[in-house]
Chains A and B, each alone.
Chain A
């Protein structure tokens, strides 16, 4: 659905985006994650045809964004960072206008605007002037204008930016509802958002893709090893000796915690040793109070990736 190949955009001083390639399949929700100024907006603007790329290509539904811009623009819905609203218009007049210029057939305009308003929960505010709406409602109108012409691809630039927690939740639910019908790319610098809404994450930093995977896999991979936490009653040396003989274990640390032993076991990523560890603890005669495995949170992964990149750039 979306194919981006070796995309580079340079401004006078340097590259905003360097050699970015990725693909998004039909019906997927992909999150574009990166700190502010990482090149998310630039990439999205190139995909929408708003900005020309310096080199590389981007295709949407097989149409080149630079060569067949009009065809591409018919097939995308785009919510820029600030929702592009006409404050003096009413919600439905605005959406009708958008439907018209996006090429919706005249006979379908009422249907499509109603659909967009229903999907975004705007029906009861349809006659309100946009300038009278709250920030959250304005954002909904912004999303409504991105889906009113039933585009193949919906591109949302920081859709939850500047919203309060309740509004953020609403917008996230809205995005999840849209996911079945549209292919969605959204950008954000909030990790939780990606974990909750996206099937795939592209982490971008300093204009480069530094990682790309599902949120779950990313957390696991980057950890390199998996950690298991145990809470045991027993002697430290004896516990270490008992567990240490299990194959695949890298290290064992133990410290005292309220009379119990808090043990952290690190093992090779991808091997699940929890049942073996549990069995060993119990058969060795220790009391097991707690056992949980821990993978690095996406937040840690993100911080790792984006700071690694920084040190690379500095050297």
Chain B
């Protein structure tokens, strides 16, 4: 445990003295913030006004849940931006250690490979949580002026989904980073793999067939949509946790095999 904490602290510290964490967090918040303000907020308000006008003219009163739509839009967008940002956080994690020769130092220290894997994973996850945490401000802002009352349950389940989704992306990113000395390659491949898991349900043209169902199931974003509707499905939980564990396991094996195939 002491070793995991040592690795964790060093990793997190390194994120914050290098420009990577600041630029990723900055870019992430800027994009989400701009889209929230110009894209969703103002557009939805115009839409609602138009809808209300039409409703009044035709004499039918209809309600739409504006806070819910705003929340779902924002969380959906945050997930999409994470897809682009997480590879940048994880790409250097092992690749840089290998390139700088510090991997040799870690491997000859009295640490187990698993301790390295877990320390790095949790520091990545912590940074990711710090990355998405400020978006709460947007939601709380909506909640303040919310009418009908703000869907708090959906807010928390969405954030749970976003963190789980991040854990999957980080675990995959770390595994890919452990395969190469080149962090750019690691970043690009991670992005490609994550994108693949994102859009895999597109290939499921026929959801009736078994293949179609499997492809649907493998889509990372489809499970996330459940969370943004306030549904915490065991299937989705298991899916995310399994993928994360698989990523960590593969990283662990990758480090183990480094010791044996090194030439």
Taking beta carbons and an 8 Å cutoff, which residues of A are in contact with B? 11-12, 45, 48-52, 70, 73-74, 76, 78, 80-89, 93, 97-98, 100-103, 106, 145
Distance in Å: Cβ of A106 to nearest Cβ of chain B: 8
The 0/1 profile, CB within 8 Å of A marked 1, for residues 104-119 of chain B is 1111111110000000
Q: Which 5 pairs between the two chains have the least Cβ-Cβ distance? A: A84-B105, A100-B6, A84-B102, A73-B110, A82-B101
* Interchain CB contact under 8 A, B102 and A97: no
Residues of A with C-beta under 8 A to B109: 73, 98, 101-102
The 0/1 profile, CB within 8 Å of A marked 1, for residues 175-203 of chain B is 00000000000000000000000000000
* Interchain CB contact under 8 A, B263 and A11: yes
A38 and B263 alpha carbons, distance in the complex (Å): 15
* Interchain CB contact under 8 A, B100 and A50: no
* Interchain CB contact under 8 A, B108 and A78: yes
* Interchain CB contact under 8 A, B100 and A84: yes
Residues of B with C-beta under 8 A to A85: 100, 102
* Interchain CB contact under 8 A, A102 and B110: yes
Distance in Å: Cβ of A249 to nearest Cβ of chain B: 54
Residues of B with C-beta under 8 A to A12: 263
Contacts A/B (CB < 8 Å), 14 sampled = A50-B108, A50-B259, A50-B262, A51-B259, A52-B259, A73-B109, A73-B110, A80-B105, A84-B104, A84-B105, A86-B100, A101-B6, A101-B109, A103-B110
* Interchain CB contact under 8 A, B3 and A101: yes
The 0/1 profile, CB within 8 Å of A marked 1, for residues 98-138 of chain B is 00111111111111100000000000000000000000000
Chain B interface bracket (under 10, 10 to 19, 20 to 34, 35 or more): 20 to 34
Name the contact of A70 in the complex, choosing from B14, B18, B102, B110 (C-beta under 8 A). Answer: B110
Residues of A with C-beta under 8 A to B3: 100-101
* Interchain CB contact under 8 A, B104 and A80: yes
* Interchain CB contact under 8 A, B107 and A50: yes
CB interface residues, B 221-263, toward A, < 8 Å? 259-260, 262-263
CB interface residues, B 60-119, toward A, < 8 Å? 100-112
Which residue of B has the minimal Cβ distance to A103? Answer: B110
A103 and B102 alpha carbons, distance in the complex (Å): 17
A-B pairs under 8 A by CB, number: 74
Residues of A with C-beta under 8 A to B110: 70, 73-74, 101-103
* Interchain CB contact under 8 A, B18 and A51: no
Which residue of A has the minimal Cβ distance to B260? Answer: A52
Quick one: given A50-B259, A52-B259, A103-B110, are A86 and B7 in contact (CB under 8 Å)? no
Q: Majority SS of interface residues in chain A?
A: loop
Residues of A with C-beta under 8 A to B112: 70
- B10 interface residue per 8 A CB criterion: yes
A155 and B103 alpha carbons, distance in the complex (Å): 17
Q: What 4 additional pairs, Cβ within 8 angstroms, besides A50-B259, A51-B262, A100-B3?
A: A51-B259, A73-B111, A80-B104, A84-B100
Of residues B7, B10, B105, B262, which shows the largest number of chain A Cβ atoms within 10 Å of its Cβ?
B105
A106 and B259 alpha carbons, distance in the complex (Å): 29
A48 and B103 alpha carbons, distance in the complex (Å): 13
Name the contact of A86 in the complex, choosing from B102, B104, B108 (C-beta under 8 A). Answer: B102
Residues of A with C-beta under 8 A to B107: 49-50
A73 and B259 alpha carbons, distance in the complex (Å): 14
Quick one: given A73-B110, A85-B100, A97-B10, are A78 and B260 in contact (CB under 8 Å)? no
Name the contact of B111 in the complex, choosing from A81, A101, A145 (C-beta under 8 A). Answer: A101
Which residue of B has the minimal Cβ distance to A73? Answer: B110
Residues of B with C-beta under 8 A to A88: 14, 17-18
Quick one: given A11-B263, A52-B260, A101-B111, are A89 and B13 in contact (CB under 8 Å)? yes
* Interchain CB contact under 8 A, A93 and B104: no
* Interchain CB contact under 8 A, B18 and A100: no
Which residue of B has the minimal Cβ distance to A155? Answer: B108
Residues of A with C-beta under 8 A to B101: 80-84
Residues of B with C-beta under 8 A to A101: 3, 6-7, 106, 109-111
Which residue of A has the minimal Cβ distance to B19? Answer: A88
Residues of B with C-beta under 8 A to A82: 100-101
A50 and B105 alpha carbons, distance in the complex (Å): 9
Residues of B with C-beta under 8 A to A86: 10, 14, 100, 102
A50 and B262 alpha carbons, distance in the complex (Å): 9
Which residue of A has the minimal Cβ distance to B9? Answer: A97
Residues of B with C-beta under 8 A to A103: 110
A98 and B3 alpha carbons, distance in the complex (Å): 10
